[in-house]
Structure 1
Amino acid sequence: MKHIGKIAIVAAMIGAVCVALMLFGARLGLWQPITGFGLYRSALTPLGAVILGLGLLALALHLIRKETAGAVMGGVAALVGTACLVPLAAATLNPPMRAAPIHDISTDTVNPPRFEVLDASRAGASNTLDHGGPELAAAQAAAYPDIAPLTTALAPDAAYQRALTLAQDMGWEIVAADSSRHRIEATARTPVFYFADDVVVVVTPQDTGSRIDMRGVSRVGRSDQGVNAARIRDFQHRFGQ
């Protein structure tokens, strides 16, 4: 037990690296996003509990022995362990609202924009790009009634160029940009875990301007946790600024 403080701080450092890899390992190309997410859900809490336990043990023993350096290392380790347990505590005290079990969101659920370049070969995809039809439309209307097409006074060419610029500014990976047909296909990724959502934007002429439709489909998971709806809202808000 003489070196329990050192053991605790080393465990905390290793734990911090492990958590970083859970969150950003997919971005580094180590695995698919779902792997990092699975590790986060299954390993974060026990990892935090072990580090917290070691830290508290080291803190107590070194305080009894009046060994300041060891006590400090134990305290730091305990803080790292506590940080790992914060998500569990937050979810317990304030359970998040359960998102609708859908992952395909479109501003037009009657004639949803179709993907023409992105297909089933996209990396890590287990969800299809085929729209779920009336059943999905009803589920989306119940969960996200505000999602609707965006209308603008801009002419189609100008609206398309603004949409393309916004897509680039939002960090999407542009897969296809067809200026003649006013279509954009892209892949957007979440900052944490690096989940991929495929996006299509279509601009159509209107009597007094243009209509912009957008659709986002998550590659994995039954639910997208509201990410695609939030992205559509963000895009439309930015477009209107």
Structure 2
Amino acid sequence: MRKEPSRLGSVILGFSLLGLLAVLIILFGARLGLWEPIVGFQLARTYMNPIAYSILGLGVVGCIYQLVVSNRCGAIKSAFAGLVGLALLAPVIISSVMPAQSFPPIHDITTNTNNPPAFLVLDKSRKGAKNSLVYGGAEVAEMQKKAYADIAPIQTSKTAQQAFSESLRVANEMGWEIVAQDENALRFEASARTPVFQFVDDVVVTVTTEGSASRVDIRSVSRIGRSDRGANAARIREFIETFDQ
């Protein structure tokens, strides 16, 4: 009587671990080179919650059954499976408890909305790009100011050359791929990836001399998507916080 329920608990636990593996592959498949970032994103939207609910449901039912037949080992295995499902549902649970943050429908963020740094090397031929590198103008600038009022240039006492070197250091520390750099013009262009789905965004950094000090401007643009859900603003904030640490 005890062996059959125990095997059932093992099957449920195995299913939960396979489901967890499937979710991890979906989330990090682009990083592993299995598919393009948009494919992983679409797979996550389509399958992640159904997988999580299935695991949670099987875990709960299995745990109840194992308790009824007094199989402690099987109940523990099923309960663990249920916890896996619950963990996978964490984003859903958090979003239901905490109000979802709203983001403006923009994907081009810069510290200088009056004169955004221009891309001179990266262009419309960049792989997978759907969005233009031409700045959207006053409408985009107004939406950015309302949503991300804290985004501002770095004002530093460093010389322009020192600020340029520091900017390159920060970019490398953040894992950006430097596409082009011009030490004379004090500017560089780079590509950065989002941490999970590995979406590629393009970045340009310029340094301007201001007397004995200098100013650093950053612009970050998503290759695809109307809204970046705050990713570019977060990247610029991290750059500013890391600068000269």
- TM-score band by shorter chain is over 0.9
Amino acid at match of 1:26: A
**1:48-87 pair list within 5 angstroms:** 48-87=52-91
Which stretches of structure 1, 4 residues or more, deviate above 3 A after TM superposition? none
Matched, 1:105 2:109: yes
Mapping for residues 181-192 of structure 1, pairs under 5 Å: 181-192=185-196
CA distance in structure 1 between the partners assigned to 2:15 and 2:74 by the alignment: 14
2:49 is aligned to 45
Answering whether residue 28 of structure 2 is matched by residue 21 of structure 1, we say: no
SS of match in other structure, 1:60: helix
Residues in 1 aligned to 2:146 and 2:60: alpha-carbon distance in whole angstroms: 48
Deviations along 1:141-193, one digit per CA (max 9) or x if unpaired, are: 22122222222222221111111111111111111121121111111112211
Match for 1:198: what amino acid?
D
CA shift, 1:240, in A, is 4.4
Counterparts of 1:70 and 1:121 in 2: how far apart (Å)?
A: 56
Alignment of 1:1-241 (within 5 A): 2=5, 3-241=7-245
Q: Any gaps of 5 or more consecutive residues in structure 2? A: none
Q: Secondary structure at the match of 1:130?
A: coil
Under a length normalisation based on structure 1, what TM-score does the superposition of the two structures give? Answer: 0.93
Deviations 1:61-119 (A, max 9, x none): 22222223322221111111111222111111112211111110011112211112212
Question: Could you tell me how far 1:4 is from its partner in structure 2?
Answer: 2.8
CA separation in 1, counterparts of 2:242 and 2:71? 56
Number of aligned residues: 241
Moved more, 109-118 or 159-168: 109-118
Alpha-carbon distance between aligned partners in 2 of 1:56 and 1:29, rounded to the nearest angstrom: 35
Deviation at 1:21, TM superposition (A): 1.4
Kept after mapping to 1: 8 A contact 2:166/2:244: no
Q: Give how far 1:131 is off.
A: 0.8
Q: In structure 2, give the amino acid aligned to 1:19.
A: V
The CA RMSD measured in Å over matched residues stands at 1.6
Worse-matched range after superposition: 230-239 or 182-191: 230-239
Q: CA deviation at 1:11?
A: 1.3
Quote the Cα distance in structure 2 between the aligned partners of 1:10 and 1:238. 43
Q: Give 1:201 shift.
A: 0.2
Q: Structure 1 stretches of 5 or more lacking a match?
A: none
Counterpart of 1:158 in 2: which secondary structure? helix
TM-score (norm 2): 0.92
Residue identity opposite 2:31 in structure 1: R
Identity over the aligned pairs, expressed in percent? 48
Q: Which amino acid in structure 1 is aligned with residue 151 of structure 2?
A: I
Structure 2 SS opposite 1:146: coil
Q: Secondary structure at the match of 1:185?
A: strand
Secondary structure of 2:205 counterpart: strand
